[in-house]
Amino acid sequence: MLLRLSTLFLRTLREDPADAEVASHKLLIRAGYIRRAAPGIYTWLPLGLRVLAKVEQVVREEMDAAGAQEVHFPALLPREPYEATGRWTEYGPNLFRLKDRREVDYLLAPTHEEMFTLLVKDLYSSYKELPLALYQIQTKYRDEARPRAGLIRGREFIMKDAYSFDLDDEGLEASYQRQRAAYQRIFDRLGLEYVIVAATSGAMGGSRSEEFLTPTAIGEDTFVRSPGGYAANVEAVTTVAPPALDFADAPAAHVEDTPDTPTIESLVAVANAAHPRPDRAWTAADTLKNVVLALVHPTGERELLVVGLPGDREVDLKRLEANVSPAEVETAVEADFAAHPELVKGYIGPGVLGPNLDGTAVGDEGRTAVRYLLDPRVVTGTRWITGADQPGRHVFDLVAGRDFTADGTVEAAEVRAGDEAPDGSGPLELARGIEIGHIFALGRKYAQALGLTVLDQNGKSQVVTMGSYGIGVTRVLASLAEANHDAKGLAWPAKVAPAQVHVVATGKDPAVFEAAEALAGTLDARGIEVLYDDRPKVSPGVKFADAELLGVPLVVVVGRGLADGLVEVRPRVVTADGPQSEQVPVDQAADRVAELVDGLLA
């Protein structure tokens, strides 16, 4: 393949696009790989499409090698199957819905569990036909509230989604592990660093799921790792709750004046000044903070919720959201407080929250009907300073289980570096990453809802158990750009680069252009993919800048050195200790380049 820059449909840009925040987004636009068509919706230009095809091909080969068979579903789907599983509603505003000319409901599929389940139900009926794994590489739709970071969170994007079908749990486990191993091979081949972390299943449902995250500071996901090997998305981390304490000797609760203490910081200062603790100073961890939030259910219904947690921790909205899925979480607004005068902003406490301790129904004793959930650390016997439900007053020595209780617990508090791993494998460290893959042991949820059964060895009908395995193909491409760039531009791994060699002819000497043309032609004839900058009236500076921006792994400069019979081979690397430029005799250039390309592709 030989692409000439003189005719290639490409305009590189020197300025970052106004709406771009992350490097991959900026550079993919500036280098002419993609172009924005609408918020979160992109057009693929020739070079971008070449990279995309290569990423897809790696995914396809590993899926085939793992025994999955490729099919292709429509993007436009009828409502009924999604109604049957509840997802028509659960997806809430994230689902693009539309009606056809007969006013029949359709959706643009965000994922295809329902359709794969129905297809297998349609064609298969016996355990002998299992295990089965199917996959597709297909365009998906999700009406994101905040499309961002270019391809990383788009509204139209390409996914590889695979599905496994097994008779029993052991079969599902084997299918799951086969896909997991295929994912490892895919990301290994693409040269994309990844960690596998425990995850929540969200709207997908199912018994267990793991995410593949590629570590990067711009990632939207936060994950944790322990020295002992625990790894999880923070959303999936469970808090290590301390044991319950004996409160027989605890003093009675007492309300104190704490004027002007609407924040934890001001409360701790006043408590230490006016109501000091004998043994040590009060800290934020001694306070119980009650945060008013709102759940927005897929039906649109808005429900207030109060989360009680130690005052030294913030509510992590994403963690809370993962644990109340499919509801979305919003912060409370003034109107919420106005509707609930019992919630005294800054001084809210269990006095008005939660059910009665004696199990009697909440009546007109001033308690709120708003649901109250506690952080798991607030175990029976713990003592707290917390709001007294009056302006400027707090209650001290309020004991959980003695003086108050709640409607339940919830994982909503932020996870912090140094927190204990839930499996006891040591303190956690935190990092950020992009979710590039997610694998789910779904179990029987979809098969049950849609009636996918097969006859087993005894002629008995059994509900099939399923797994679902996704890779965000376009997001993987963006992650590769993110992981392989510097200030000057992209630096693609050779296996996914739009070409392997970028030949640059500089100056005006016709002999230079002839030699460059000949070299490009020779490389092309040897099966090497070549981008040839044959533009006649473009300065060397612009050509070099474009080469660095485009990120083809080997740049061959044919220019002034040709007078001495030399061309320059410059690897496009982002690290100082990478391979260096070399001067190569022009008649050996093709051999040397071919050798380097072989090395890069090996």
Residues forming contacts to a copy of itself in the complex (CB under 8 A) are 7-11, 32, 35, 37-38, 41-46, 49, 52, 67, 69-78, 93-94, 96-98, 100-101, 106, 108, 115, 119, 122-124, 132, 134, 139, 141, 143, 145, 155-156
Torsion of CA 489, 491, 492, 497, to 10 degrees: 70
Give just the sign of the alpha carbon dihedral 474, 477, 481, 482: positive
Nearer to a copy of itself, 29 or 406 (CB): 29
Q: How far is the CB of 69 from a copy of itself (least distance, A)?
A: 5
Three-state SS for 134? strand
Q: How far is the CB of 35 from a copy of itself (least distance, A)?
A: 6
Cα 87 to Cα 253: distance, rounded to the nearest angstrom: 47
Q: How far is the CB of 513 from a copy of itself (least distance, A)?
A: 18
Q: How far is the CB of 335 from a copy of itself (least distance, A)?
A: 22
* Beta strand spans in 100-244 (E): 105-108, 132-141, 156-166, 195-199, 208-215, 221-225, 231-233
Q: How far is the CB of 174 from a copy of itself (least distance, A)?
A: 15
Q: How far is the CB of 124 from a copy of itself (least distance, A)?
A: 7
Q: 392: exposed, middle or buried (C-beta count within 10 Å: 0-12, 13-18, 19+)?
A: middle
Three-state SS for 132? strand
Q: How far is the CB of 450 from a copy of itself (least distance, A)?
A: 14
* Helical ranges in 325-463 per DSSP H: 334-339, 445-450
Nearer to a copy of itself, 136 or 287 (CB): 136
Whether 506 contacts 560, CB under 8 Å? yes
User: What distances in angstroms separate CA 35 from CA 7, 39, 44, 242, one per listed residue?
Assistant: 19, 11, 7, 52
Cα 285 to Cα 302: distance, rounded to the nearest angstrom: 31
Q: How far is the CB of 100 from a copy of itself (least distance, A)?
A: 5
Nearer to a copy of itself, 115 or 413 (CB): 115
Nearer to a copy of itself, 83 or 256 (CB): 83
Nearer to a copy of itself, 100 or 591 (CB): 100
* Helical ranges in 456-537 per DSSP H: 473-483, 510-525
Nearer to a copy of itself, 128 or 254 (CB): 128
Torsion of CA 77, 79, 82, 86, to 10 degrees: 160
Q: How far is the CB of 587 from a copy of itself (least distance, A)?
A: 31
Q: How far is the CB of 144 from a copy of itself (least distance, A)?
A: 9
Torsion of CA 326, 331, 334, 338, to 10 degrees: 50
181 contacts: CB under 8 Å, gap ≥ 6:
66
Whether 135 contacts 127, CB under 8 Å? no
Alpha carbon 216 to its chain centroid, in Å, reads 11
Task: Taking each helix axis as running N to C, give the angle between helix 589-601 and helix 510-525, from 0 to 180 degrees, rounded to the nearest 10.
Answer: 40
Q: How far is the CB of 451 from a copy of itself (least distance, A)?
A: 17
Nearer to a copy of itself, 85 or 258 (CB): 85
Cα 218 to Cα 314: distance, rounded to the nearest angstrom: 21
Cα 401 to Cα 394: distance, rounded to the nearest angstrom: 18
267 contacts: CB under 8 Å, gap ≥ 6:
258, 261, 287, 311, 385, 394
Q: How far is the CB of 342 from a copy of itself (least distance, A)?
A: 33
Nearer to a copy of itself, 140 or 445 (CB): 140
User: What distances in angstroms separate CA 308 from CA 214, 289, 313, 407, 411, one per listed residue?
Assistant: 33, 6, 10, 11, 11
234 contacts: CB under 8 Å, gap ≥ 6:
221, 222, 223, 224, 316, 318, 319, 414, 415, 430
Q: How far is the CB of 268 from a copy of itself (least distance, A)?
A: 41
Nearer to a copy of itself, 140 or 438 (CB): 140
Nearer to a copy of itself, 132 or 499 (CB): 132
Nearer to a copy of itself, 145 or 252 (CB): 145
Nearer to a copy of itself, 133 or 412 (CB): 133
Nearer to a copy of itself, 148 or 402 (CB): 148
